[in-house]
Structure 1
């Protein structure tokens, strides 16, 4: 099983954390329409900003992330680079595990990321001494765009799956 976007109520589980937390003016949101989730908005580089993100708790995955070998995304992009981010109890609150990806604009594609593909970061800086991902300690997942490019963006999602 996987997280899909068949129910419009899925939209309420996602919330934005944009660069407004540090004075920026980027804006983002998450909507669900016709079985597709959309992380969309506009990145602004004004006022020292430059990132937008959405997050949700990972409940709803079957099998659980604790049993998984990695995460699979079925996505379609817009030519920009995104990050899948995982918050874990083994890292501090301002830190996360990330993997970067640039999905196809022309077709849906399925991307697989094993746990060892993720790197630990704190506010964009790599943490060389962080522990490896422990799937059972993941308490939040999300998407972030921080490609130093101003303008609109839209990442479309059909499926997020825990892979055994």
Structure 2
């Protein structure tokens, strides 16, 4: 069973998303999540190494998820051959631990991904956090998209939606 977190089929669907780029630390990378009239969102921008930069991201708050039954986060995306990350945060703060899972999609092909919650790793500013609390679906308060890891230049990731996937309708 799926619980819808975001479906980008109308322009209002992107309004809750904010860019959090390396500019917060002096970098010059830029990104945005915009609506495409074809019926999806596009996460795009430029990642630059200038001023110790190197990442671009967008994020939005989510309504609380059920306490049990969530196994994965599913996305439908069309990539550009680069590696992206899905970030999950267990607070509404600006800075702190991100739980991240990455993927690479073939360029130009719509793909449905299932990222198991067990595969999300806690990080803080790109570094592993060994003593972070376990990721529990009921604690997820923000969802984000990110590109980093020395992938400089322009990027574009189209996205149709994000869902929480679970074992049964009773939990969702």
Deviation at 1:35, TM superposition (A): 1.4
Matches within 5 A, 1:1-164: 1-2=3-4, 3-33=6-36, 34-59=38-63, 64=65, 66-67=67-68, 68-89=70-91, 93-164=95-166
Is the Cα contact below 8 Å between 1:43 and 1:50 reproduced in 2? yes
Q: Deviations over 1:53-104 (max 9, x none)?
A: 0000123x8xx35442221011111111111000114x99421100011112
Q: Any idea what SS the aligned residue of 1:10 has?
A: helix
Runs of 4 or more, structure 1, over 3 Å off, are 64-67
Gapped regions of structure 1 (runs ≥ 5): none
Moved more, 1-10 or 109-118: 1-10
Distance 1:93 1:41 in 2: 21
Check 1:131–1:24 CA distance in 2 against 1; reply closer, same or farther (3 A cut).
same
Gapped regions of structure 2 (runs ≥ 5): 167-172
CA RMSD, aligned part only? 1.8
Distance 2:94 2:136 in 1: 14
> Could you say which residue in structure 1 is the equivalent of 2:169?
none
Check 1:92–1:150 CA distance in 2 against 1; reply closer, same or farther (3 A cut).
closer
Check 1:17–1:65 CA distance in 2 against 1; reply closer, same or farther (3 A cut).
farther
Aligned length: 160
Q: Deviations over 1:10-40 (max 9, x none)?
A: 1211100011111100000010122111110
Is the Cα contact below 8 Å between 2:45 and 2:155 reproduced in 1? yes
